[in-house]
């Protein structure tokens, strides 16, 4: 009897050890998967009934896309039956973004909304998504128009680019002089559209403005923009202004102007968040930040993704709860969230993004 009792105890101990090993292996597998991409996933995403909407930014971890993530997740909480997966590469890298989208296709999500680092690079994977019955959208940055069911734009590109050009000339206090243009990545379609519109504004209305070089990439990094602006200030001592597009670029340009004490000589205008811009706006190293609410853009993207998956299309002038009235272009699938907003020394503190 005693021998039988000891055998039972040994068997129970063996089962417990094996169970612990299985649990430990499962945990390490999850950790490895999470390391491949950054972002957040709703509690129900991919697991429970409902619509799985994936929102893919150019990269995660910078303030602009963090704010968009908050808005997207808020929409996931507000809208019934929606699971949001906000995920993207940790660097503004086109090939890494493609891998993120491939992973989402394998999970058979209902909607993929992407802000492409390079529209050409994502074409094949977006075609694959459509072939697999996944609804495809772009947001923040356009992809191939033929591949998307909806294109969600924060502003009208032409209006935005021209507006920034006008604000720079206004800040310079003269319609003549040398300026430079900083961008994020050379392949970013939205940034290129804004720059083209700004250049048209200069050519048509301010012929005395001279752009000293081709647009200068900064890899979506404030430190790179800072160093490139320092180089510009040395190479072009008569430089009067810097137009910087992509949210880290104006901050880096302003940092360089601030360091050199050139606030009264070199004007900086660009697309940046008011909270990040506040220190530079305060001392005049950044004259005006022009943008929109990225949280609302994330919210709008998820809201329209839900409509799309449910067989609906947005209408011009439609009121979207949590966002406001939208504009839908004649093609029926290009959505404009609203006009640009100017953030200055006087009003930057009024905003929380």
pLDDT at 16 over 80: no
Q: How far apart are CA 63 and CA 157, in angstroms?
A: 22
Residue 14 lies in a domain: no
Residue 128 lies in a domain: yes
pLDDT at 44 over 80: no
pLDDT at 192 over 80: yes
- Domain coverage including residue 98: 38-155+294-338
Same domain (yes/no): 81, 96: yes
Q: How far apart are CA 105 and CA 302, in angstroms?
A: 18
pLDDT digits 0-9 by tens, 80-137:
999 999 999 999 999 999 999 999 999 999 999 999 999 999 999 999 999 999 999 9
pLDDT at 30 over 90: no
Q: How far apart are CA 172 and CA 243, in angstroms?
A: 11
- CATH at residue 257: 3.40.50.2300
Q: What are phi and psi of 238, to 5 degrees?
A: -95, 10
Same domain (yes/no): 116, 200: no
Residue 100 lies in a domain: yes
pLDDT digits 0-9 by tens, 132-150:
999 999 999 999 999 999 9
pLDDT at 223 over 80: yes
pLDDT at 5 over 80: no
Helix 94-106 and helix 119-131, axial crossing angle in degrees, nearest 10: 10
From start to end of 108-162, where are the E strands? 111-114, 135-139, 150-153
Residue 170 lies in a domain: yes
pLDDT at 177 over 80: yes
Radius of gyration of the chain (CA): 24
Same domain (yes/no): 249, 315: no
- The pLDDT value given to residue 352: 86
Which pLDDT band holds residue 42 (cuts at 50, 70, 90)? low
Residue 6 lies in a domain: no
Residue 343 lies in a domain: no
Last residue of a domain, one of 234, 260, 291: 291
Question: Which among 243, 185, 234 has a CA at the least distance from the CA of 209?
Answer: 243
Strands 111-114 and 135-139: parallel
pLDDT at 37 over 80: no
Same domain (yes/no): 51, 148: yes
Same domain (yes/no): 284, 323: no
Last residue of a domain, one of 234, 262, 291: 291
Same domain (yes/no): 237, 298: no
Counting the structural domains of the chain, the total is 2
Residue 331 lies in a domain: yes
Which pLDDT band holds residue 35 (cuts at 50, 70, 90)? very low
Which strands make up the sheet holding 150-153, listed edge to edge? 38-41, 82-88, 51-56, 111-114, 135-139, 150-153, 334-336, 327-328
Same domain (yes/no): 166, 278: yes
To which residue do tokens 């999470």 refer? 34
pLDDT digits 0-9 by tens, 259-308:
999 999 999 999 999 999 999 999 999 999 999 999 999 999 999 999 99
Same domain (yes/no): 276, 302: no
Strands 51-56 and 38-41: unpaired
């Amino acid at each position: 009897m005693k021998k039988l009792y000891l055998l039972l105890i040994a068997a129970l101990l063996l089962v417990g050890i094996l169970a612990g090993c299985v649990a430990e292996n499962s945990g390490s597998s999850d950790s490895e998967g999470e390391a491949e991409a950054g972002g957040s996933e709703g509690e129900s995403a991919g697991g429970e009934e409902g619509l799985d909407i994936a929102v893919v930014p150019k990269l995660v971890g910078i303030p602009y896309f963090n704010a968009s993530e908050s808005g997207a997740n808020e929409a996931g909480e507000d809208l019934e039956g929606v699971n949001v997966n906000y995920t993207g590469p940790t660097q503004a890298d086109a090939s890494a973004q493609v891998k993120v989208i491939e992973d989402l296709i394998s999970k058979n999500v209902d909607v993929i909304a992407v802000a492409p680092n390079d529209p050409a690079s994502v074409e094949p994977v977006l075609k694959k998504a459509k072939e697999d019955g996944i609804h495809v959208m772009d947001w923040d940055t356009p992809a191939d128009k033929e591949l998307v069911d909806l294109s969600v734009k924060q502003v009208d590109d032409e209006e935005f680019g021209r507006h920034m050009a006008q604000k720079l000339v206004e800040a310079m206090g003269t319609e003549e002089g040398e300026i430079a243009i900083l961008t994020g990545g050379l392949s970013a379609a939205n940034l290129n559209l804004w720059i083209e519109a700004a250049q048209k504004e200069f050519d048509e209305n301010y012929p005395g403005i001279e752009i000293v070089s081709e647009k200068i990439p900064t890899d979506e990094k404030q430190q790179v923009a800072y160093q490139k602006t320092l180089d510009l200030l040395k190479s072009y001592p008569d430089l009067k202004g810097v137009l910087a597009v992509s949210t880290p670029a104006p901050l880096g340009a302003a940092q360089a102007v601030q360091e050199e004490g050139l606030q009264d000589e070199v004007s900086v205008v660009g697309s940046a968040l008011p909270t990040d811009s506040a220190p530079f706006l305060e001392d005049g190293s950044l004259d005006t930040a022009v943008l929109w609410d990225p949280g609302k853009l994330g919210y709008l993207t998820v809201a329209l993704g839900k409509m799309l998956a449910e067989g609906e299309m947005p209408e011009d002038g439609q009121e979207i709860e949590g966002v406001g009235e939208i504009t839908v272009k004649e093609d029926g699938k290009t959505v404009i969230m609203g006009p640009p907003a100017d953030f200055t020394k006087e009003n930057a503190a009024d905003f929380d993004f």
